[in-house]
């Protein structure tokens, strides 16, 4: 299932949630991507499906500058090209073995992806710092009409980047005032839990009506 | 020390994992839970009337609750894993040991229903398990904000080991771990501990080993 | 919409362990049809509308069919060989196509990554050439002369060895593996995977074994096989799509996958497509 996206940056994760040499499943409006960071820190987003046997690449592992599938260890470079097939160690993998790759960039602690590299960089969101990503069991339209939300969480200025990820699930990447202290960040994180409960109550009410 | 063990039991795995991390040698006695239902047999009921696995025997001591086994192993050989260096941390450890019971009931229940065809209300178990995961994610996120990695102390404790298996195996019961970045980092930190051992459903972190150089004979075609 | 009769309807499937039938019977399903396996002499399998299905009891399991199998259940001659221990491993439910479960069983290249330090280990990842054929007379898929390095080939193995394998697919959701027998060189251990298709995307998997091993406790043998299969389960539940693609453009095989290629070709030839995806989506 090809992931289709328009030429817009979509926030998918926070930089702090993707340390070097790890991979995560990144939920987008049109499907899941395998988002990974190489040992040297470089970011890549690939289709979350190994072309060999369809295994999700986000279950794989990162060694050096390549992502490997957990099933048979086939490894992929940052361009999505298969680099190595352990069952045939001396075979140069044919060019046809390739996982689709997407533009991925991070700015101010937020990782953004796009189908094709947009002409402008992702927004800087100056004055904010990333707090946490939180998944809400409610439709994005219901929460905010799929738009970013400015609000206060425990009295702290917050910006929620809202991404509907299909079905009735929404991911909110929560940013807070860059000047917030640790204690304030903890309070804001707890308030985000309450905000999620409110959203889900709203969703249930909407279903009932 | 004898552990009545089952390879697919996350509660038994907790004890094997703690023993491996603490350097305790266990004498494992495999119990035919599935398909034989040996845990419900009279000889095992005599040790544990509840009919659950694991059971730990050490001399006269018989333990049937995995949290108690973790504490026993830690107290014997690895006391820093008790995490009781101050009152708040000691209480935190108890808090998470109690919480781990909920994980067993909910995520463990979903897993037994979905994977081993045990009777159970799967959607209700999955919903309850999801609430547990959210609670854990929120707590771990707060710990990260404060610069901490583990649940109760500035180092791993029995609390982490008690909660880890059912969380890591949540997908076995049809509960996705995708929505929980802090849980993901915490499970990774546990899997990277020296002496860590796996159980089926928790794969090796292959990235901890370097890419092997090709040492094999060239292909002929 | 009317559909052609799916030829897999007329095949045999495992639906219970004969030794483990609860007194009230085992309520389960076969290819979407609810059935109940009832204990007694003889064991019966009935549908919700009261139809008695054909049954046979072999290899520890109760086998049945929603249709009318033209042949008896396939033979495993080793099952009757004196001295073998017959091991009932039990059942594990997997959210995947029954055909995917079989195909994974035919695969050795995943051993170093999924069964690490047990059935395989890096750097011994290379899959050498082996022979694959569809045996016309038996109408079975066979792979022979398969070799792979194993750090711990079986419960009774203590060190690494190069293990020989033969794979056989005698029915669309049943497969038999013959492998080096550490206890008795010259003989083959028999390890099977019998798959009960509940739906096209859900199956109950019943591993079963006939081994020469007088040393290992029965429970340890059961647990070894349960461990191996449970390591596969998280793979099987995360392959996309859940159905097995028979469209050659959808997945990319290499020489190591020739058994899978032959299996897919054989499925296609017989229109054994319950659990298969015919056209890429």
CATH number for position C48 = 2.20.25.680
Report the sign of the C-alpha dihedral through residues A48, A52, A54, A59, in that order. negative
Confidence of residue A194 (pLDDT cuts 50, 70, 90): very high
Residues C108 and C139 in one domain: yes
Residues C92 and C199 in one domain: yes
Q: What is the pLDDT of residues A146-167, one digit of tens each?
A: 578 899 999 999 999 999 998 7
Q: Identify the residue with better confidence: C181 or B24.
A: B24
B13-22, C72-81, C155-164: the lowest-pLDDT one: C155-164
* B211·A63 Cβ contact <8 A: yes
Question: Which chain B positions have a beta carbon within 8 Å of C111's beta carbon?
Answer: none
Residue C101 CA, chain-centre distance (Å), reads 7
Residues C8 and C87 in one domain: no
Is a pLDDT exceeding 50 seen at residue A10?
yes
Average pLDDT over residues C235-256: 93
A30-34, C80-84, C183-187, C267-271: the lowest-pLDDT one: C183-187
CATH number for position C95 = 3.90.380.10
Q: What is the pLDDT of residues C183-204, one digit of tens each?
A: 888 899 999 999 999 999 999 9
Mapped onto helix, strand or coil, the DSSP state of residue C43 is: coil
Tell me which residue in A17, A88, A90 faces B185 most closely, judged by beta carbons: A17
Which of A74, A193, A194 to probe the B interface (max B CBs under 10 A)? A193
Minimal-distance CA residue of chain B relative to C115: B203
* B115·C233 Cβ contact <8 A: yes
Cβ contact A188:A158 at 8 Å: yes
Residues C137 and C188 in one domain: yes
Which of A20, A135, A185 to probe the B interface (max B CBs under 10 A)? A135
Q: How many alpha carbons lie under 13 Å from residue B4 in its C-beta half-sphere? A: 24
Question: Which chain C positions have a beta carbon within 8 Å of A97's beta carbon?
Answer: 252
- The CA distance from B33 to A209, in Å, is 48
Q: What is the pLDDT of residues A90-134, one digit of tens each?
A: 999 999 999 999 999 999 999 999 988 899 999 999 999 999 999
Q: How far is C279 from chain A (nearest CA, A)?
A: 13
- The CA distance from C208 to C206, in Å, is 6
- The CA distance from C206 to C192, in Å, is 8
The residue count for chain A: 209
Cβ contact C18:C57 at 8 Å: yes
At which of C73, C102, C134 does a domain end?
C73
Tell me which residue in A70, A87, A96 faces C109 most closely, judged by beta carbons: A87
Low-confidence ranges of chain B (pLDDT < 50): 215-221
The pLDDT value recorded for residue B219 is 42
The pLDDT value recorded for residue C153 is 59
* B203·A64 Cβ contact <8 A: no
Is a pLDDT exceeding 60 seen at residue A208?
no
Cβ contact A51:A146 at 8 Å: no
Instruction: List, in sequence order, every residue forming a beta bridge with A32; answer none if it has no partner.
Output: A27
At residue B37's C-alpha, the angle toward residues B31 and B39, to 5°, is 50
Domain count, chain C: 2
Is a pLDDT exceeding 70 seen at residue A209?
no
Provide the CATH topology of domain A128-208.
Alpha-Beta Plaits (3.30.70)
Which of A15, A31, A61, A87 to probe the B interface (max B CBs under 10 A)? A61
The pLDDT value recorded for residue B218 is 41
> In this complex, is the C-beta atom of B213 within 8 Å of any C-beta atom belonging to chain A?
no
Three-class SS of chain B: CEEEECCCCHHHHHHHHHHHHHCCCCEEEECCCCCCCHHHCHHHHHHCCCCCCCEEEECCEEECCHHHHHHHHHHHHCHHHHCCCCHHHHHHHHHHHHHHHHHHHHHHHHHHHHHHCCCCCHHHHHHHHHHHHHHHHHHHHHHHHCCCCCCCCCCCCHHHHHHHHHHHCHHHHCCCCCCCHHHHHHHHHHHCCCCCCCCCCCCCCHHHCCCCCCCCCCCCC
Q: How big is the A-C interface in CB pairs under 8 Å? A: 67
Which of A23, A73, A87 to probe the C interface (max C CBs under 10 A)? A87
The pLDDT value recorded for residue B221 is 35
Residues C92 and C205 in one domain: yes
Q: In which residue are the tokens 């929120």 written?
A: B138
Percent of chain C residues past pLDDT 90, beyond the cut: 89
- Residues 88-117 on A with a CB inside 8 Å of C are 88-89, 91, 96-97
> In this complex, is the C-beta atom of C113 within 8 Å of any C-beta atom belonging to chain A?
yes
The pLDDT value recorded for residue C1 is 39
Confidence of residue A21 (pLDDT cuts 50, 70, 90): very high
Q: Identify the residue with better confidence: C4 or C59.
A: C59
* B178·A61 Cβ contact <8 A: no
Helices and strands (DSSP H and E) totals, chain A: 2, 14
> In this complex, is the C-beta atom of C114 within 8 Å of any C-beta atom belonging to chain A?
yes
State the residue range of the domain holding C87.
Answer: 81-277
At which of C39, C57, C73 does a domain end?
C73
Residues C166 and C193 in one domain: yes
Question: Which chain C positions have a beta carbon within 8 Å of A88's beta carbon?
Answer: 126-127, 254-256
The pLDDT value recorded for residue A2 is 36
Average pLDDT over residues C77-94: 96
Residue boundaries of the structural domains of chain B: 2-80, 83-191
Average pLDDT over residues A56-62: 98
The rounded mean pLDDT for chain A is: 92
Tell me which residue in B31, B117, B203 faces C91 most closely, judged by beta carbons: B117
CATH number of B83-191: 1.20.1050.10
- The CA distance from C194 to C18, in Å, is 14
The pLDDT value recorded for residue B210 is 87
Residues C127 and C8 in one domain: no
* C122·B209 Cβ contact <8 A: yes
Which chains border B (3 or more CB–CB pairs < 8 Å)? A, C
C-alpha dihedral (A74, A78, A83, A86), degrees to nearest 10: -30
Residues C104 and C158 in one domain: yes
> In this complex, is the C-beta atom of C234 within 8 Å of any C-beta atom belonging to chain B?
yes
Question: Does this model's pTM top 0.90?
Answer: yes
Residue boundaries of the structural domains of chain A: 10-114, 128-208
- Residues 161-190 on B with a CB inside 8 Å of A are 178-179, 181-182, 184-185, 188
Cβ contact B31:B39 at 8 Å: yes
Helices and strands (DSSP H and E) totals, chain C: 4, 16
The pLDDT value recorded for residue A6 is 46
CATH number of A10-114: 2.102.10.10
- The CA distance from A120 to B203, in Å, is 40
Cβ contact C196:C204 at 8 Å: yes
Rg of chain A over CA atoms, in angstroms? 19
Report the sign of the C-alpha dihedral through residues A14, A16, A19, A24, in that order. negative
Would you tell me which CATH number, out of the four given (3.40.50.150, 3.20.20.140, 3.40.30.10, 3.40.50.11540), belongs to the domain B2-80? Answer: 3.40.30.10
Average pLDDT over residues A60-76: 98
Which of A25, A31, A72 to probe the C interface (max C CBs under 10 A)? A72
The rounded mean pLDDT for chain C is: 94
Is a pLDDT exceeding 70 seen at residue A58?
yes
- The CA distance from A159 to A156, in Å, is 10
Question: Which chain C positions have a beta carbon within 8 Å of B8's beta carbon?
Answer: 223, 226-227, 230
The pLDDT value recorded for residue C155 is 60
């Amino acid at each position: 299932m090809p992931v289709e996206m328009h030429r817009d940056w979509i926030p998918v994760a926070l930089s702090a949630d993707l340390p070097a040499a790890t991979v995560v499943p990144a939920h987008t409006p049109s499907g899941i991507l395998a988002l990974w960071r190489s040992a040297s820190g470089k970011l890549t987003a690939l289709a979350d499906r190994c072309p060999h046997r369809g295994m999700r690449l986000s279950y794989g592992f990162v060694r050096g500058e390549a992502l490997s599938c957990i099933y048979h260890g086939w490894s992929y470079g940052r361009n999505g090209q298969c680099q190595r097939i352990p069952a045939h160690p001396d075979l140069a993998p044919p060019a046809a073995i390739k996982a689709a790759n997407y533009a991925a960039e991070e700015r101010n602690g937020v990782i953004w992806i796009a189908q094709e590299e947009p002409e402008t960089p992702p927004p800087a969101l100056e004055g904010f710092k990333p707090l946490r990503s939180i998944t809400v069991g409610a439709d994005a339209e219901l929460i905010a009409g799929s738009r970013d939300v400015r609000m206060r969480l425990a009295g702290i200025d917050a910006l929620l980047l809202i991404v509907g990820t299909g079905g009735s699930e929404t991911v909110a990447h929560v940013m807070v005032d860059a000047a917030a202290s640790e204690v304030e960040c903890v309070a804001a994180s707890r308030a985000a839990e309450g905000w999620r409960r409110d959203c889900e109550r709203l969703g249930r009410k909407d279903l009932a009506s | 020390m004898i552990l009545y063990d089952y390879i697919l039991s996350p509660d038994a795995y907790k004890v094997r994992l703690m023993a491996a991390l603490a350097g305790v040698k266990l004498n494992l006695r495999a119990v035919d839970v599935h398909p034989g239902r040996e845990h419900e047999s009279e000889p095992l009921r005599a040790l544990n009337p509840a009919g659950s696995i694991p059971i730990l025997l050490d001399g006269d001591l018989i333990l049937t609750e995995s949290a108690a086994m973790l504490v026993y192993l830690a107290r014997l050989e690895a006391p820093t894993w008790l995490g009781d260096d101050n009152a708040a941390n000691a209480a935190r450890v108890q808090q998470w040991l109690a919480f781990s019971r909920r994980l067993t009931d909910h995520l463990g229940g979903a897993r037994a229903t979905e994977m081993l065809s045990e009777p159970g209300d799967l959607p209700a178990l999955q919903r309850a398990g999801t609430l547990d995961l959210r609670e854990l994610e929120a707590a771990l996120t707060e710990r990260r904000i404060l610069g901490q990695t583990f649940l109760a102390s500035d180092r791993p404790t029995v609390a982490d080991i008690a909660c880890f298996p059912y969380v890591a195996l949540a997908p076995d019961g049809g509960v996705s771990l995708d929505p929980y970045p802090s849980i993901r980092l915490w499970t990774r930190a546990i899997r990277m501990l020296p002496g860590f051992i796996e159980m089926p459903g928790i794969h090796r972190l292959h990235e901890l080993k370097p890419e092997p150089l090709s040492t094999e004979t060239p292909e002929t075609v | 919409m009317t559909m052609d009769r799916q030829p897999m309807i007329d095949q045999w499937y495992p639906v219970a362990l004969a030794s483990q039938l609860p007194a009230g019977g085992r309520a389960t399903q076969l290819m979407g049809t609810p059935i109940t396996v009832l204990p007694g002499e003889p064991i019966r399998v009935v549908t919700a509308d009261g139809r008695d299905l054909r049954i046979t009891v072999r290899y520890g399991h109760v086998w049945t069919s929603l249709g009318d199998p033209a042949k008896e259940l396939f033979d495993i001659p080793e099952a009757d060989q004196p001295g073998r221990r017959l091991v009932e491993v039990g059942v594990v439910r997997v959210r995947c196509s029954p055909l995917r479960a079989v195909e994974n069983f035919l695969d050795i290249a995943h051993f170093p990554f999924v069964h690490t330090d047990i059935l395989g280990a890096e750097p011994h990842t290379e899959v050498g050439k082996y022979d694959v054929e569809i045996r016309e007379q038996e109408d079975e898929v066979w792979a022979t002369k398969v070799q792979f390095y194993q750090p711990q080939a079986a419960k009774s193995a203590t060190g690494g060895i190069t293990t020989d394998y033969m794979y056989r697919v005698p029915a669309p959701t049943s497969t038999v593996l013959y492998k080096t027998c550490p206890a008795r060189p010259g003989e083959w251990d028999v390890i099977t995977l019998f798959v009960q298709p509940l739906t096209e995307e859900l199956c109950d998997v019943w591993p079963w074994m006939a081994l020469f091993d007088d040393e290992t406790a029965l429970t340890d043998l059961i647990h070894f096989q349960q461990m191996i299969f449970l390591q596969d389960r998280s793979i099987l539940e995360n392959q996309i799509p859940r159905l097995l693609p028979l469209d050659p453009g959808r997945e990319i095989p290499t020489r190591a996958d020739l058994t899978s290629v032959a299996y897919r070709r054989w499925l296609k030839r017989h229109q054994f497509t319950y659990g298969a995806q015919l056209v890429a989506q």
